[in-house]
Structure 1
């Protein structure tokens, strides 16, 4: 292209390029690039002019060349597929007639902050420094699958989608298998459709604080097997649709504090087979949809009981600690909502978390709840023995109950036989009658004070003795079973 073919606006860009100087076409600093279709020729630059500069533009000795423009209207297609661009591209607040094509390109840096684009095709692009799409308005899909960015990817306050026309149904934001050297900063991001980050590797954090990811009835965030260096944050995020983090590796925090999950009738949060340091669901509204945490490993799980939905999937979930520290009675209802029914391991895991916190009383409450839940799975005829153990000694977790029963029966027997002593079997040979020790002889089968064998009650007192003997055997057997179970746990 000959230089004399350039328009005045293009001449300004051409002359500034060799020295990396900026060209600002904006009328006001706060103008909206979404209105760029109405901009006139005084700020219009053809895409082919930009391509000529970037691929074979002039240079000045001792100066660093670069494309630095603001508020330009770019017509035509900026097609840099497979190109190697050694100068930074900074195009802030620009309006693009057609989506730029950067498939397989190698770039030094790309800044499109506050621009309006119909899409961006940059799969497998390599960026040496940084890629900025902050505050952009992008109506078509952003294709960054397989991208390699040595620095960071910035998407804060950008609005992407919804995708319409012949591309309807395509994910608006595609970052699957991308490799980001530092962080993905996307707080305040809005995506109308699916955000796809499957298999991405991020050296630092993914920040989705205050993001709005909307794909009702579908998958809002598809992030299977994501690996991050530190945290994945989505505090105060609004997540309409499924959040899928299956198989992800997050050594720091998965922080959904104050977030809102909405996917009624489906899975709202799936974080199965994950390895995560800390999972924060602090002060979340009740999650609308199922939560699936199967086979995952967490160091800390922070969730209030009110956040759990009506159905959960917790099979194989392990965690070292749970916060905030609450009474076991507030944690147990969540285990009742397990979709698969009774899961002994879920109770054992919760009990272990309480033991880690040093709350043995809460751990025993959880173990007792586990046995009661197990009893409901047994045939009707097999529940009687469990019911007896529960009522008498709380399956060994409430041993003082047995003491209470024994004290009540001992008092009953002592009063009854004190008022009406039984007759001696061998008058003159029987020891002096003692109503308390006689009742103990009836209640405790392994102890004998010689009272039971020397006296024989009659009438209803005889039936009382039978009742005391049977009750004593039941208490002794259930207590032994409870003690044995406690020793096995230890």
Structure 2
């Protein structure tokens, strides 16, 4: 491009570039970049001029060339597809009339912070340093799929919206970020796609507002993160998808509102996560899907759990904060998969690891009762008997109470009316207590039952005691066997 063809504004930028000087056309620091359509030629720069600068402009000896432009209106398409740029490009507080194109481009650094753009085409780009889009506003799709960013991707406070359509408005699928994806306060209306992305550091979405009601707000299937995924104080309308994700640190959803009443709110099935935090926020609206997930720490407050959870094959080492079993059991009863024995075993193990044996026994008792609901006929009746007598072996003192009560009843009744002896000359002295024990205990014999024979309803009581004794003995044996196998 000939220098004679440049406007005064463009000439100013052209001359500043070889020396790495900044050019700022702003009249005040707080001006609204949305008013850029009204900026005149005194602060308008053609995209073709910027392209020529970055690709062919000479560099002064001993200086570091740099495109550092602020407060300009960029007209035309800034087309740098497949280009290799040796100089950083900083286009801050700029108003772009057309969508810039960086497809397949390789550059050292790109900064378009606090600018307004109708979209961005940058998939497949390589950035040797950082890509900064702090507080930028996009009125169309941002395409960064497959990009490779050696440093950090900054998007804090950025706003992205696009006309309604099926296409994700922020495309970060298969992106590779060497350090952090730093986007606290991000506002997106539409879908963010992070499928297959790899972030070496932390993904920061604290205080983000993501809106895509009934549809994916954040689709991050098979996402890989070396650090944390932070979404504190976030507000998400739509669902978050983390199926198959690998997060080395914690997934922190503290103080956040997740809302997708018609479907899943969080899909983290088959994921591997260091810690999952759900605390200090309103109840999740929608389904919580943790099927086949593997967690080291599950920090969840019962108040945040939705009406429907999916826990089949979920494994975790530590469950915190410590809560009584009565407050944790509703989580298992809300499982949309029905009766899931594995979920009860996981909760039991979590209590046993911290030494709360009482809570572990209550969970196992709840498991047996839930299982009883899946049975029918005599099996369910037998379950009720085990529950009423010994609490399925987890309340063995209950059997002692039953035995003591029956011993008292039998002893009083037969003390008031002795049954006649079968052979009076050979019969031992009658003892109502040991006679009752003879009826109740199916193995031990004190010689009373074989020597006396009650009649009438006293004989019926004897039959009841014999039958009850066998039931109690069988259920106690089952309970003892369950306790031994558990230990």
Q: TM-score, normalised by structure 2?
A: 0.98
Please tell me whether the aligned partners of residues 34 and 137 of structure 1 are also in contact (alpha carbons under 8 angstroms): no
1:112-144 deviation line (CA, Å, top 9, x unaligned): 110000011000100010000110010011100
Match of 1:39 in 2: 39
Q: Secondary structure at the match of 1:441?
A: helix
Contact residue 351 and residue 367 of structure 1 kept, 8 A: yes
Q: Which residue of 2 aligns with 1:161?
A: 161
2:364 counterpart of 1:367: yes
Aligned to 2:71: 71
SS at the partner of 1:284? coil
Whole-Å separation in 2 of the counterparts to 1:380 and 1:428: 49
Contact in 2 for aligned 1:163/1:169 (Cα 8 Å): no
Q: Secondary structure at the match of 1:80?
A: coil
Task: Determine the C-alpha separation between the residues in 2 that align with 1:488 and 1:427.
Answer: 48
State the 1:403 CA deviation: 0.5
Q: Is the 8 A contact 1:119 1:139 kept in 2?
A: yes
Shift of 1:73: 0.9
- Name the SS of the counterpart of 1:346 in structure 2: helix
For each residue in 1:165-220, what CA deviation from the matched residue of structure 2 results, as whole angstroms up to 9, or x when unmatched?
xxx33211000000000000011001110000000000001000110111112110
Alignment of 1:104-143 (within 5 A): 104-143=104-143
Q: What's the offset of the Cα at 1:17?
A: 0.8
- Match of 2:421? 424
1:285 to 279, 282, 285: 282
Higher mean C-alpha deviation, range 140-149 or range 307-316: 307-316
After TM superposition, the structure 1 = structure 2 runs for residues 356-395 of structure 1, keeping only pairs within 5 Å, are 356-395=353-392
In structure 2, how many angstroms separate the alpha carbons of the residues matched to 1:419 and 1:38?
110
Q: Determine the structure 2 residue equivalent to 1:217.
A: 214
Q: Which has the larger displacement, 375-384 or 423-432?
A: 423-432
Residue aligning to 1:312: 309
Q: What corresponds to 1:81 in structure 2?
A: 81
- The CA deviation string for residues 249-273 of structure 1, in whole angstroms up to 9 with x for no partner, is 0011011111111112211110011
CA–CA separation in structure 1 for the residues paired with 2:376 and 2:466: 28
Please say if 1:239 is aligned against 2:222.
no
State the shift of 1:432 in Å.
2.3
Confirm or deny that 1:276 pairs with 2:273. yes
Residue by residue over 1:338-379, the C-alpha shift from the partner in whole angstroms, topping out at 9 and shown as x without a partner, is 222111111111111111221111111111111111111112
Structure 1 residue aligned with 2:468, among 464, 468, 471?
Answer: 471
| In 2, Cα distance between equivalents of 1:190 and 1:399 | 58
Q: CA deviation at 1:287?
A: 1.6
User: What TM-score, normalized to structure 1?
Assistant: 0.97
Q: Is the 8 A contact 1:183 1:202 kept in 2?
A: yes
Shift of 1:235: 0.9
Counterpart of 2:146 in 1: which secondary structure?
coil
Task: Name the CA distance, whole Å, in 1 between partners of 2:438 and 2:35.
Answer: 97
Q: Distance between the aligned counterparts of 1:469 and 1:30, measured in 2?
A: 92
SS at match of 1:170: coil
Q: What is the aligned partner in structure 1 of residue 346 from structure 2?
A: 349
Who is 1:301 aligned against?
298
Residues 1:90 and 2:90 are matched in the alignment: yes
Q: Secondary structure at the match of 2:402?
A: helix
Q: CA deviation at 1:474?
A: 0.5
Between 353-362 and 80-89, report the one with greater CA deviation: 353-362
- Work out the CA distance in 1 between the residues paired with 2:177 and 2:398: 61
Q: Structure 1 residues 175-184 or 447-456, which shifts more?
A: 447-456
Question: Could you tell me how far apart the structure 2 residues matched to 1:487 and 1:163 are?
Answer: 65
Whole-Å separation in 2 of the counterparts to 1:476 and 1:40:
97
Tell me the CA shift for residue 479 of structure 1: 0.6
* Residue 48 (structure 1) aligns with: 48
